[in-house]
Structure 1
């Protein structure tokens, strides 16, 4: 195959345009560096009339809400899924890892929940608390200045609460709770479970002239045509392009990082999806932000005489310590919320209240913790909206549903009378849980694919058990009725499959020891000083928080370090 090489030499080649890649692009371009941003999917702007999907009725979806065809991407705003045509992945033994990949400018940030939580002091040094896993090579105090700058740059609503391991930040005003959330708060507080305003990266007041303010259409999962919520494209990449320092390469699938005789990076090799030809870009530094597993795959495929086991993999650690957030959920019927007057209760595209971790692990049979997310209310019904009529008949003493006027009347009676709770918790990083190259399978571009080997432990199963039992206790405390049977041991207590929460981290973890880690505390490869990783792969451990805000803060820190090192000619 003839490979076409670019004549231009960039200061930085960034692979991936999600949270980490977008932040790196923004910081480096605004520092005056010449940047190439490479994205495997097409260009996407939620403000573009051709792609704009907000304020459309559910029946205007071309797939009528068929999430199995494009999960999280009803309408036309999400290019990606658990399965991507021509890009398979495989499983080892009885693994059931679910790998979500987004193929569009801005990546997953176009349709995430905008839950923007700082990791706390304990989260960076949790081995000191329970002896499990490893401590990060950095502390909360080292990353706090970047969290602070991030809050002011992107915007996050919330309130100062003074909770030890839930650090406060610089907050915009939070929206008022909706009625189902007030019921949840009443029930939780009866049990001594804390409830505080959510912390979401959605603008409730003006931040700058580039972005609008949330108008409560509750459709953030489709991205925002007012740029009021955080997406990497609208908030980081588009502003960076104004500098004139960014060359954007879309629909370009990176195969590997190219290296020289000294083992340093010289650029990247990629396949252009439009002409199916292979090209190379040249750069002084390469920054991987393709997502934890995709960046690991690129490194593992970057083999050379100097890096026979893959770039950065002299420790055989690339792909190892893969771990995802735990997840389990329950739903409930709240009789007191029946027969409500119907009004617009949309709010933001996410919860207005949530519960941070409150438990004492010394008194529990599992380590670490989880937070509780809440859903419900009278939001716009999706296509296929309804309920299990057999289940409902148990509780209301009569036939529910049917056809015509009877169906419409029942829908109105029960509309807004359901609530759901989901736990998102911390799992323990294990050496054995990994993604590796499958020696026998390639994708449509001829690139070896990933093979997953991942098993939950009893730590995670018992955490899920605590979640679901707690949700039912809260339901009873608010006068509700749990829907369905409580999952038992044979169902892993409702624990979702690894990867399903889409918080995978740890595949290129940072550490001080090159024998047990891939990058140093600046997310710089131990084995190649001009290669950096700015996605969640560098996480030494997860936390009971969503990982995006920490990806952004770490990427900001790493990008400022890269700019400084380039100017000093150290890399």
Structure 2
């Protein structure tokens, strides 16, 4: 195949435009460097009337919001999903992992829940606490200044609580709890479970002239047309372009490999254009991989050369190893006291939880390590396909005659609208070497690039954690005077523990560490084996915490960018 070489050489080539790629773009372009951003999907701007879905009604859709090619429905702003036609992945027999991809400018930051939590000192050094896994080569004091910078640049609402395991930051005013959340607070108090305001990256107060303020339409998963919530494109890449930064976007461009020279240093990347199906080569002094933990691992494993026979940066044979995702299990309950709601007022709020429960457990009384937080949903969100009223569930579990057609259906929907409260447990799994992704030697995608094969199973510690989640959800529903919806999952159903990848918090495939034999990057996210290659996605995580990973991706990407700037100035790379 003839490869066309793009004539211009860039200071930095960044692969991926999500949280880590966007932050690296912003910092390096603002520092005056010539940056190329290579994104596998199309250009996307949520303010563009051609792509904007915010403020559209379900009846604007012939499917009432149900999706055909989007796993979270037509209104969710993610181009892709767990299965993308022409871009498969495979599994080791007997294992399961679901790999969610969003191919578009901004990546998965266009649809995520914006839950923006800091890791604590304990999260970086958890092996010292319980003996599981490995410690990070950095601690909270290394990352804290960058958390502060991210808070101020992007904006996050919340409250100062003084909790050691949930570090405070610079917060915007949080929205008040809605009625279902007040019920949750009351129920949680009976079980001594803490509840604090949510910490979400949505602007409840203006922070600059480029972004608007949340007006409580509750549709953040559609990506915000006034840029009030955080998405990488609208909050990082667009400002980098406006501030005079030299940013060149290569969209619809699927990276095949990182190219290297005789010394083993990166010289750029090769990519295949989805527009003309031809392969191109970009040249750059520094390559930043931020394609997501698994996509970055795939690129590195496919980047074989004489100097990197096992794949780029893979002398340790650890690229793809230690893959892990947040644990996740769910529950929901019908609360009779929430029947016959007054629907004459707007209770939409932000597109996410106004309150949540950080981890509270006492491990001296528990049979599993680490922990989880509880996310809360409910209220009177805009009805559309699958909005939460399931007549069969009510009939089966409460002996009620609910649903049907015409007036009876309309009356029952109004009666039970807003009477369900749901919970999502999101916790920390243990990083294990035998959970991994690797190149499948027999399968390629539609572009001829070898695909990933996953080997992933849950451990006993994760199953015990899921059981605790289900017991807690049951107790909370009882405290609120409600009844569980659905049968409580038992051991035969892994206590409702979702498959790996389904929480979309996959991390750890290119873990950082001080020893090149037991890690892929150093503490500045720089490859041990090629000093002009950096990773700014969640692949560098030595371990996940019981917190969502995006705020830490952003902080580490800013930290790595500062180090790149320093090394370029000193002509070390």
Task: Give me the whole-angstrom Cα distance separating, in 2, the residues matched to 1:375 and 1:134.
Answer: 34
Task: Give me the whole-angstrom Cα distance separating, in 2, the residues matched to 1:250 and 1:466.
Answer: 44
Task: Give me the whole-angstrom Cα distance separating, in 1, the residues matched to 2:543 and 2:393.
Answer: 40
User: Which residue matches 2:182?
Assistant: 182
Task: Give me the whole-angstrom Cα distance separating, in 2, the residues matched to 1:190 and 1:86.
Answer: 51
The question of whether the paired residues in 2 share the 8 Å contact of 1:63 and 1:75 is answered with no
How far is 1:335 from its partner?
0.1
The structure-2 alpha-carbon separation of the partners of 1:214 and 1:137, relative to structure 1 and needing over 3 Å to count, comes to same
Q: What is the SS of the residue equivalent to 2:10? A: strand
Task: Give me the whole-angstrom Cα distance separating, in 1, the residues matched to 2:246 and 2:541.
Answer: 29
Aligned length, in residue pairs: 571
Q: What is the SS of the residue equivalent to 1:475? A: helix
- Counterpart check, 1:441 vs 2:443: yes
Between 52-61 and 130-139, report the one with greater CA deviation.
Answer: 52-61
- Give 1:491's match in structure 2, choosing from 490, 493, 497: 493
- Counterpart check, 1:540 vs 2:537: no
How far is 1:394 from its partner?
5.6
How far is 1:93 from its partner?
1.6
The question of whether the paired residues in 2 share the 8 Å contact of 1:327 and 1:495 is answered with yes
The question of whether the paired residues in 1 share the 8 Å contact of 2:124 and 2:136 is answered with yes
How far is 1:74 from its partner?
1.5
How far is 1:65 from its partner?
2.7
The question of whether the paired residues in 1 share the 8 Å contact of 2:490 and 2:496 is answered with yes
Matches within 5 A, 1:30-429: 30-61=30-61, 63-67=63-67, 69-75=69-75, 77-242=77-242, 243-342=244-343, 343-385=345-387, 387-393=389-395, 398-429=400-431
The question of whether the paired residues in 1 share the 8 Å contact of 2:187 and 2:480 is answered with yes
How far is 1:85 from its partner?
1.2
Q: What is the SS of the residue equivalent to 2:169? A: coil
Task: Give me the whole-angstrom Cα distance separating, in 2, the residues matched to 1:131 and 1:75.
Answer: 44
How far is 1:69 from its partner?
3.0
- 1:107-156 per-position Cα deviation (integer Å, ceiling 9, x unaligned): 00000000000001100000000011000000001100000011000000
The question of whether the paired residues in 1 share the 8 Å contact of 2:159 and 2:168 is answered with yes
Q: What is the SS of the residue equivalent to 2:426? A: strand
Structure 2: gaps (5+ residues): none
Q: What is the SS of the residue equivalent to 1:563? A: helix
- Counterpart check, 1:455 vs 2:457: yes
How far is 1:395 from its partner?
6.2
Between 156-165 and 75-84, report the one with greater CA deviation.
Answer: 75-84
RMSD (CA atoms):
1.1
Task: Give me the whole-angstrom Cα distance separating, in 1, the residues matched to 2:275 and 2:122.
Answer: 47
The question of whether the paired residues in 1 share the 8 Å contact of 2:188 and 2:195 is answered with yes
Task: Give me the whole-angstrom Cα distance separating, in 1, the residues matched to 2:255 and 2:28.
Answer: 21
The question of whether the paired residues in 1 share the 8 Å contact of 2:30 and 2:245 is answered with no
The structure-2 alpha-carbon separation of the partners of 1:439 and 1:63, relative to structure 1 and needing over 3 Å to count, comes to farther
Task: Give me the whole-angstrom Cα distance separating, in 1, the residues matched to 2:450 and 2:114.
Answer: 33
How far is 1:567 from its partner?
1.1
How far is 1:384 from its partner?
4.5
How far is 1:363 from its partner?
1.4
The question of whether the paired residues in 2 share the 8 Å contact of 1:323 and 1:505 is answered with yes
The question of whether the paired residues in 1 share the 8 Å contact of 2:69 and 2:80 is answered with no
User: Which residue matches 1:5?
Assistant: 5
The structure-2 alpha-carbon separation of the partners of 1:188 and 1:253, relative to structure 1 and needing over 3 Å to count, comes to same
How far is 1:76 from its partner?
7.5
The structure-2 alpha-carbon separation of the partners of 1:82 and 1:49, relative to structure 1 and needing over 3 Å to count, comes to same
- 1:182-238 per-position Cα deviation (integer Å, ceiling 9, x unaligned): 000100011000000000000000000000000000000000000000000000000
How far is 1:72 from its partner?
2.7
How far is 1:388 from its partner?
3.4
Deviation beyond 2 Å, 4+ runs, structure 1: 61-69, 75-78, 383-391, 393-398
Q: What is the SS of the residue equivalent to 1:183? A: helix
The question of whether the paired residues in 2 share the 8 Å contact of 1:143 and 1:553 is answered with yes
- Give 2:525's match in structure 1, choosing from 513, 523, 526: 523
Task: Give me the whole-angstrom Cα distance separating, in 2, the residues matched to 1:29 and 1:563.
Answer: 10
The structure-2 alpha-carbon separation of the partners of 1:518 and 1:204, relative to structure 1 and needing over 3 Å to count, comes to same
TM-score by length of 2: 0.98
Task: Give me the whole-angstrom Cα distance separating, in 1, the residues matched to 2:492 and 2:199.
Answer: 35
Task: Give me the whole-angstrom Cα distance separating, in 2, the residues matched to 1:501 and 1:92.
Answer: 20
Structure 1: gaps (5+ residues): none
Matches within 5 A, 1:503-514: 503-514=505-516
Task: Give me the whole-angstrom Cα distance separating, in 1, the residues matched to 2:472 and 2:455.
Answer: 31
The structure-2 alpha-carbon separation of the partners of 1:62 and 1:144, relative to structure 1 and needing over 3 Å to count, comes to farther
- 1:22-55 per-position Cα deviation (integer Å, ceiling 9, x unaligned): 0000000000000000000000000000001110
